[in-house]
Chains A and B, each alone.
Chain A
Amino acid sequence: MNNYYRSWPITLLLTLISLPLLIMFIFQIIDNFTNPAPGGIWPSSFTLEHWRFLWETPKTGESYIWTVTFNTFIFASTTSIMVTSLSMTSGYVLSRLDIPGRKIFLAGLIMLHAFPTISLIVAIFLTLQIMGLYNTLLGVILVKSALELPFGVWIMKGFYDTVPWEIEMAGIQDGASRFTVWRKLILPQVQPGIAALLIFSFLSGWSEFVLPLVLAPSSDVQVLSTYLSALILDDNKFDFNLFKSVGTFYAIPVIIIYIVFQKKLMNIYGGGTKG
Chain B
Amino acid sequence: MNRINWFGFIFISPVLIMVLLFFLTPVVMTAFFSFTNMSTSTGIKGGEYLINQETIKEIKKYNIQKDTIEKLENAGYSINEEGLKIISEKYKESLSNEIKSLYFGDKFSNRKDLERALKKLKKNKIKKTRDRKEIAEIFKESIINERFVSKSIFEENLIKLEINQNDREVIIKESYTGWSWTNNNFKLIYNLPSSYKFAFYTLIYVSFTLTFNVVFGLFLAISTFYLPSKTASTFRTIWFLPRILPPVLYVLMWKWFTWDTGFISQMSTYFGASPKNWMMDSPIHAWTVIVLINGFVGASFGMILFSSAIKAIPSSMLYASEVDGANRWQQIWNIIIPQLRWPIMFTTAYQTLSLLTSFEYILLATNGGPGRSTEVWALAAYHTALQNYAGNLQYGLGATYALVLVIIGIIASLFYLKFFNFKDLVTKPRIEG
- Given contact pairs A111-B413, A122-B381, A130 touches B44 in the complex (Cβ within 8 A): yes
B14 CB to closest chain A CB (Å) equals 5
The answer on a CB contact under 8 Å between A14 and B22 is no
Closest Cβ–Cβ distance, residue B354 to chain A (whole Å): 4
Interface pair A99/B5, CB less than 8 Å apart: yes
A229: nearest chain-B partner, CB-CB: B248
- CB closest residue in chain A, given B300: A269
Q: Which of A197-247 contact B (CB under 8 A)?
A: 203, 206-207, 209-210, 214, 224-225, 228-229, 232, 240, 243-244, 247
A-B contact count (CB 8 A): 300
Decide if A70 is an interface residue (CB 8 Å cutoff). Answer: no
Contacts of B371 in A (CB 8 A): none
Within 8 A of A (CB), among B1-41: 4-5, 7-9, 11-12, 14-16, 18-19, 21-23, 25-27, 29-30, 32-33, 38
Of B65-73, B78-86, B253-261, the stretch lying at the interface with chain A is B253-261
User: For the complex, would chain B's binding face be called helix, strand, loop or mixed by DSSP majority?
Assistant: helix
Structural contact, B263 and A27, CB atoms closer than 8 A: yes
Pick the interface stretch among B128-136, B149-157, B193-201, B418-426: B418-426
B378 to chain A, nearest CB (A): 7
Closest to B400 in A: A122
Contacts of B143 in A (CB 8 A): none
Asked whether, in the complex, the Cβ of A18 is within 8 Å of the Cβ of B235, the reply is yes
Q: Chain A: which residue is nearest B405 at the CB level? A: A119
| B297 interface hit (Cβ, 8 Å) | yes
Residue in B223, B245, B428 whose CB lies within 8 Å of A251: B245
Query: Which of these, B15, B319, B410, contacts A1 with CB under 8 Å?
Result: B319
Partner of B402, one of A119, A127, A130, A247: A119
- For residue B47, CB closer than 8 A to chain A, the reply is no
| Segment at the B interface, from A2-10, A45-53, A55-63, A188-196 | A2-10
Closest to B1 in A: A98
Task: Please measure, in the bound complex, the distance between the C-alpha atom of A96 and the C-alpha atom of B420, giving whole angstroms.
Answer: 19
Chain A 64-100 interface residues, beta-carbon cutoff 8 Å to B: 86-87, 89-90, 92-100
Chain B residues near A24 (CB, 8 Å)? 253-254, 256-257, 263
In the complex, which residues of chain A have a beta carbon less than 8 angstroms from the beta carbon of B414? 111
List A contacts of B8 (CB < 8 A): 93, 97, 99
Stretch at the interface among B92-100, B169-177, B279-287, B357-365: B357-365
A172 at the interface (CB under 8 A from B): yes
Q: Is B144 an interface residue (CB 8 A)?
A: no
What separation, in Å, do the CA atoms of A21 and B21 have in the docked complex?
Answer: 41
A25 to B226 CA separation, bound complex (whole angstroms): 25
- Does B26 lie within 8 Å of A123, measured CB to CB? yes
- Evaluate contact between A116 and B409: CB separation under 8 angstroms: yes
Whether a CB of chain A sits under 8 angstroms from the CB of B190 is no
**When the two chains form their complex, are residues A254 and B246 in contact, meaning their CB atoms are under 8 A apart?**
yes
Q: Does B294 contact A (CB under 8 A)?
A: yes
Q: Which residue of A lies closest to B426 (CB)?
A: A103
User: Please, which residues of chain B bring their CB within 8 A of the CB of A120?
Assistant: 23, 26-27, 30, 402, 406
CB distance B23 to A146 under 8 Å?
yes
Q: Are B266 and A150 in contact (CB under 8 A)?
A: no
Cβ–Cβ contact B7 & A178, under 8 A:
yes
Q: Chain A, 108-121, contact with B by CB distance < 8 Å: what is the 0/1 string? A: 00111111111111
- Name the B residues within 8 Å of A214 (CB-CB): 382, 386-387
Size bracket, chain B contacts: 35 or more
> Residue of B at shortest CB range from A179?
B7
Instruction: Please pick, from A41, A98, A243, the residue contacting B432 in the complex, using a CB distance under 8 A.
Output: A98
Q: For the complex, what is the distance from the CA of A24 to the CA of B38, rounded to whole Å?
A: 44
CB contact between A122 and one of B45, B246, B386 (< 8 Å): that residue: B386
Q: A90-B12, A274-B297 are in contact. Are A98 and B428 (CB under 8 A)?
A: yes
The reply on B116 being an interface residue by CB < 8 A is no
Do residues B12 and A112 form an inter-chain contact, with CB atoms below 8 A? no
B296 CB–A CB distance under 8 Å: yes
Note all chain B residues with C-beta closer than 8 A to A103. Answer: 426
B247: Cβ under 8 A from any A Cβ: yes
List A contacts of B256 (CB < 8 A). 24, 27-28, 31, 240, 244
> Cβ of B328 < 8 Å from any Cβ of A?
yes
Q: Are B227 and A10 neighbours in the complex by a CB distance under 8 Å?
A: yes
Once bound together, how far apart are the Cα atoms of A114 and B226, in whole Å? 33
Pairwise interchain contact B355-A7, C-beta atoms closer than 8 A: no
B410:A115 contact, CB within 8 angstroms: yes
B59 is an interface residue with CB less than 8 A from chain A: no
Complex alpha-carbon distance, A87 and B228, angstroms: 39
Interface residues of A in 240-275 (CB under 8 A from B): 240, 243-244, 247, 250-251, 254, 258, 262, 265-266, 269-270, 272, 274-275
Identify which of residues 350-408 in chain B touch chain A, using a CB-to-CB cut-off of 8 Å.
350-351, 353-360, 363-364, 378, 381-382, 385-387, 395, 398-399, 401-402, 405-406
* Across the A-B interface, the 9 shortest Cβ-Cβ residue pairs: A146-B22, A275-B354, A116-B357, A119-B405, A123-B26, A207-B246, A114-B413, A114-B416, A123-B29
25 pairs, A vs B, C-beta closer than 8 Å: A1-B318, A2-B226, A7-B228, A10-B223, A86-B18, A90-B15, A95-B429, A103-B426, A110-B416, A110-B420, A114-B412, A116-B357, A123-B27, A123-B32, A126-B399, A130-B45, A142-B21, A145-B18, A214-B386, A225-B247, A229-B364, A232-B255, A251-B249, A254-B246, A275-B297
Chain B residues within 8 Å of A, Cβ to Cβ: 4-5, 7-9, 11-12, 14-16, 18-19, 21-23, 25-27, 29-30, 32-33, 38, 44-45, 209, 220, 223-224, 226-228, 231, 235, 237-249, 252-257, 261-263, 266, 294, 296-298, 300-301, 304-305, 308, 315, 318-319, 322, 328, 350-351, 353-360, 363-364, 378, 381-382, 385-387, 395, 398-399, 401-402, 405-406, 409-410, 412-414, 416-417, 420, 422, 425-426, 428-432
